[in-house]
Structure 1
């Protein structure tokens, strides 16, 4: 680990610029809605794409990326804006042509190779390659809503991104990324325009009494040491399930369908219960301990009227399932899968509306502990075509989440690098539980 830490120090920022849309947009304001506001106190959502090659033409590639960014921001101009509040204290996205735009940093890490970064363990080596570590979305009142760091590696290029989670979710993030790649590979326009009218899904004006925290850079030196001593040691690891393993997990869960004529379990439900059961076992919970499964579900097709896939903003809600650890472990996997399936199916337009009304009566920003006790919380989705994001110098060798928004039990699902139905499962767990999970042959599908 000392060697890894040493490599982290060898990332040197060489320049920092800002990129605005290439055409005049004018002044534009768009209020945040009930789906956005709970995430104001989350951290910026970080992604890292590692590309092999491209380092020899690094300067040319950076310029090409910036030129493409200028064009794609004509449609996604909200990312070049700032958070603001109107006279009544309602949060909104504000844009005008005088704003700085998107922050783009260039960096050099000539001693770090692609191979160093595609290991499955940890995020320590990734931290200096992604901007805005430990920065709250609320900071968008004084910082760009999107920050990008392009780092020249020994044999490749790293693209680290920090998106303000108060203004967009995963579906919107990857819509932007694929659109930017389209422009960079010669398309005159993007194939799907973002739908920017948030108030079409909910037009409730909510005031949150949140003030901007002190600048974290100034406060970090004295606060970090104490906080880190109190927190349990966490580890992050990517578990790669090839499509043969995914198919086996799904067929096992569906081998004994519930007697009440429930529909077959989906790939997601099957993999979700596989992870939930084995993480619960790795935690050595008592039979009577509760464990919560949480999924941040896309609601674009669930709301009434349905919103287009290109809706730009947050249109996700957390869906919770709870049971006793002993019940989850003692019963076959279809027991947990049915709990998850019923919770997801019940989250229809009526349930979404009820959740929104409940939140609007007593607004509360999310904190990690809200995911539930002994939780397994799933974000991202293998539906996102992350390995198709090709800017003209090849497809990514690896796609990872940064160190922000991680806690014991956080899981990110990604399309598998090996393609097909393969899925990469990125898990954060307390260190001793992670060690037990790593040695669980049934979880790893080695038996």
Structure 2
């Protein structure tokens, strides 16, 4: 291991923050209670010395983190999971007893190798991922922190900021909002007033009453989940995988859109997301060595922020989860056939139009989400993590735009892709894939050949 831990500390909210906070989980949150933590790494080009890092950069990050927590108190809190009780889980913050775990480290690893797009051993990235503290068992409940952070210096080369959070804390919209707020306050040198002047409208809304749940879906979900105690999170090591990044330039995306529209001229929702997801999904399925049954269903599952898509709408800055999901199902033989990409695009676009963008349908059957998603884990499902909509790489701590985002948590999923804006290609997208080496080689060949064709 080429990484040395320099310091571990716990960063509290600043004096004057609220004394305590109890934030009940909604049905949007409860369904994620047993999901693995979401893990992101942001790599920044920032050549600085170790003394400068320890004397200037690290203290500045701690100070700005503390100031940010004043507005994002749930991140300093713990998930409280009741045992043998009708009580429902909540996130609890108690002044003096709640803080965020922050690890400061130094690495001698090759920064340029880690931030490349080529296939790299997935295991090596876990040196930079923070570990969430183990679950604490009390007599009437379990308790576990919702967030952990780690900042690693590559002396004279760059910095990696690692995030791990429980998914029940919030979706990408919420967590990215926190990361960008921390980065902004850090860049402003801890000037909280200037931050508030610029970002007052985007401060998180914690009011759970904005989530409408007339059917009591939270109770339905809790009855299913409460008998399964929390487990401490762990890294899926060894992963036996490699990670690689694939770029779809704007020109590639436009060609894919043209191909779909040439075959399906009346199709709506032919977005960059639709054609990218469809193309990667079909390449992934084609990369599988063999399938015993050509009629077997292949499934693509994707989540969508529905704050503005439900009635009544939820404020854009609401902090928590507010996701629904789309589910495209296609027979294997169709997906790997000559029209597979177009069929996939049509299926995904249909889910967006008729399910996610339809206020009458988006939450229809939500009480069955737990059983539906459980079924997906037992079949040939492919998912997506992240969205270019939130552009996590734009979080600027004063070091500029991030050079690379790695969504490490896709290693812990059966099969998934990550998605974000491309740094080097205006209008382009970056796709992250984690696969065994042999299958990655097959995927890469199919991906490149398809774009040339």
- In the other structure, the counterpart of 2:78 is 82
Q: Is the 8 A contact 2:410 2:418 kept in 1?
A: no
Q: Find out whether 1:345 has 2:350 as its counterpart.
A: no
Q: Is the 8 A contact 2:269 2:353 kept in 1?
A: no
Q: Is the 8 A contact 2:133 2:144 kept in 1?
A: no
Quote the offset at 1:133 in angstroms. Answer: 7.6
CA distance in 1, matches of 2:33, 2:399: 35
CA distance in 2, matches of 1:172, 1:337: 28
When normalised by structure 2's length, the TM-score is 0.85
- In the other structure, the counterpart of 1:322 is 329
When normalised by structure 1's length, the TM-score is 0.86
**Alignment size in residue pairs:** 422
CA distance in 1, matches of 2:364, 2:137: 26
* 1:440–1:138 Cα change, 3 Å: farther
- In the other structure, the counterpart of 1:130 is 129
The correspondence of residues 32-431 of structure 1 with structure 2, limited to 5 A, is: 32-56=25-49, 57-59=52-54, 60-85=56-81, 88-109=86-107, 111-120=108-117, 121=119, 122-132=121-131, 141-154=142-155, 155-186=157-188, 187-189=194-196, 191=199, 192-203=202-213, 204=216, 205-206=218-219, 207=222, 208-210=225-227, 212-213=229-230, 233-258=240-265, 261-263=266-268, 265-283=270-288, 284-285=290-291, 286-330=293-337, 332=339, 333-347=341-355, 348-359=358-369, 370-371=376-377, 373-403=379-409, 406-431=412-437
CA distance in 1, matches of 2:268, 2:136: 39
Q: Is the 8 A contact 2:132 2:147 kept in 1?
A: no
CA distance in 2, matches of 1:393, 1:137: 37
3-state SS of paired residue (1:349): coil
Q: Is the 8 A contact 2:78 2:93 kept in 1?
A: yes
- In the other structure, the counterpart of 1:6 is none
* 1:25–1:133 Cα change, 3 Å: closer
Quote the offset at 1:425 in angstroms. Answer: 0.6
- In the other structure, the counterpart of 2:191 is none
CA distance in 2, matches of 1:282, 1:137: 42
Quote the offset at 1:320 in angstroms. Answer: 0.9
* 1:262–1:93 Cα change, 3 Å: same
3-state SS of paired residue (1:29): strand
Q: Is the 8 A contact 2:133 2:145 kept in 1?
A: no
- In the other structure, the counterpart of 1:445 is 451
Unaligned runs of 5+ in 1: 1-8
Quote the offset at 1:141 in angstroms. Answer: 4.6
* 1:380–1:141 Cα change, 3 Å: farther
